[in-house]
Amino acid sequence: MTLAVRVIPCLDVDAGRVVKGINFKELRDAGDPVELAATYDKEGADELTFLDISASHEGRATTLEIVTRTAEQVFIPLTVGGGIRSVDDVDRMLRAGADKIAVNTAAIDRPELIAEIADRFGNQVLVLSVDARRAPGTDSGFEVTTHGGRKSAGLDAIEWAARAVELGAGEILLNAMDADGTEDGFDIDLIKAVRSEVTVPVIASGGAGRADHFPPAVDAGADAVLAATIFHFGKVRIGEVKQALSGAGAPVR
């Protein structure tokens, strides 16, 4: 049986508000996370991803409170990321109502964290978020970045995704930094490159601008498609994305 392609709105949260920019700069306010989450749930989103993009210590308590309030409002799986550095952090977020946890920088700094989380909670809880950009000098042509795409992590993006899966990551959230917020379409080459190396689900993120941008990402090997800007500012509705996917022959819920 072919699994339905999941459509996932992403809430980038900074100081308790949803924000969105282009290539992680020039952030605009997009609303209240709890209200937006409830709206997307009603509109037929399959999951929600919630990323605390500042994830500073003063923001952590805010995040827990928002996660708790969001989890009370929505009845679809909720993934939370940003500032997750330990098994205890994961435990706190799961208790607050998260279903899955996304790790990024902390896993780059200490890859054993992936195994520790997977061993304690199961790999179905763990999403590795990979911020990848084109880098001609690497084996695959893509490198991992940190700090919102501004710094190179010195890792080949495709090799890192494969290694993380070996360590226990249950899913890859693949953020195409070159495409982020541009609304020019997903990075198809990047999706294909990761798909060829990992067996776990791949979530394509970065670049969606129109409903017809989504089917090519699925054709390239994405199991789920994620977007932020076009949903937050009402350019494209979740139902339109599902129609486009269904029309292209992809199974949707």
pLDDT above 90 coverage of the chain, percent:
79
Positive or negative, the CA dihedral 203, 207, 213, 217 is negative
Q: Are 90 and 113 in contact (CB under 8 A)?
A: no
Mean pLDDT of 141-155: 90
Catalytic residues: 12, 131
Q: Which residues pair with 101 in a beta bridge?
A: 80, 126
* pLDDT the model gives residue 122: 98
129: exposed, middle or buried (Cβ count in 10 Å: 0-12, 13-18, 19+):
buried
pLDDT above 70 coverage of the chain, percent:
95
Mean pLDDT of 86-97: 96
Mean pLDDT of 100-119: 97
Q: What is the mean pLDDT of the chain?
A: 93
Q: Inform me whether the pLDDT recorded for 23 exceeds 60.
A: no
187 vs 21, residue with greater confidence: 187
For the stretch 191-234, pLDDT in tens is 999 999 999 999 999 999 999 999 999 999 999 999 998 999 89
Q: How confident is the model at residue 55 (pLDDT cuts 50, 70, 90)?
A: confident
pTM of the model: 0.95
Please give the span between the terminal C-alpha atoms of the chain, in angstroms, as a whole number. Answer: 13
Mean pLDDT of 117-132: 97
CB atoms near residue 54 (< 10 Å): 16
Q: How confident is the model at residue 152 (pLDDT cuts 50, 70, 90)?
A: very high
* pLDDT the model gives residue 197: 98
* pLDDT the model gives residue 76: 96
Q: Inform me whether the pLDDT recorded for 147 exceeds 90.
A: no
* pLDDT the model gives residue 42: 96
Q: Which two tokens stand for residue 244?
A: 């486009």
